[in-house]
Amino acid sequence: MSQGEVSAASFDADLPELPANLELDLPGLFVAGRQVAPFGEPVALEVVQLGEVTSGSGVLTVRDFGYGDFGLAPLTRRLHAGTYRAEVSGTAGTNVALRLIVSEAPAVSWHPAELAGGSNIIGVDAGNVVILDVATLARCEAEQVEELFQEQSERLADCRGSVFSLTGEVNDAVIVTSGYGDGAYPCYWGVAEDGTITSLVVDFLVLAEDKVRVVTVPWRPGTVNAPELAEHGLEVIANRGTFILTHRGDAFSKLRVLAPDGTVLMDGHHLSLTVTDDQHTQSWKPAAPPPPGSVLELTLHEGYRHT
Compute the mean pLDDT over every residue in the chain, rounded to the nearest whole number: 94
Task: Return the SS3 of 146.
Answer: helix
The whole-angstrom distance between residue 236's C-alpha and the CA centroid of its chain comes to 30
Q: Does residue 193 carry a pLDDT above 60?
A: yes
pLDDT of residue 70: 82
Q: Which range, of 37-51, 59-73, 78-92, averages the lowest pLDDT?
A: 59-73
Per-residue pLDDT, averaged over 289-297, amounts to: 97
Q: Does residue 5 carry a pLDDT above 70?
A: no
Domain coordinates of the chain in residue numbers? 3-206, 210-306
Q: What is the largest CA-CA distance in the chain?
A: 71
Q: Does residue 261 carry a pLDDT above 80?
A: yes
For the chain, give the percent of residues with pLDDT over 70: 98
Per-residue pLDDT, averaged over 71-76, amounts to: 91
- Nearest to 203, CA basis, from 15, 30, 41, 2: 30
CA 66 – CA 48 distance, rounded (Å): 23
pLDDT of residue 248: 93
**pLDDT range class, residue 117, cuts 50, 70, 90:** confident
Phi, psi of 254 (to 5 degrees): -155, 140
Q: Does residue 217 carry a pLDDT above 60?
A: yes
In this structure, the chain runs to a length of 307
CA 247 – CA 256 distance, rounded (Å): 14
**pLDDT range class, residue 88, cuts 50, 70, 90:** very high
Q: Which residues of 221-255 are buried (b: 16+ CB within 10 A; e: fewer)?
A: eeebeeeebeebebebeeeeeebebbbeeebbeeb
Per-residue pLDDT, averaged over 125-154, amounts to: 93
User: With a threshold of 0.75, does the pTM exceed it?
Assistant: yes
pLDDT of residue 1: 44
Task: Return the SS3 of 70.
Answer: coil
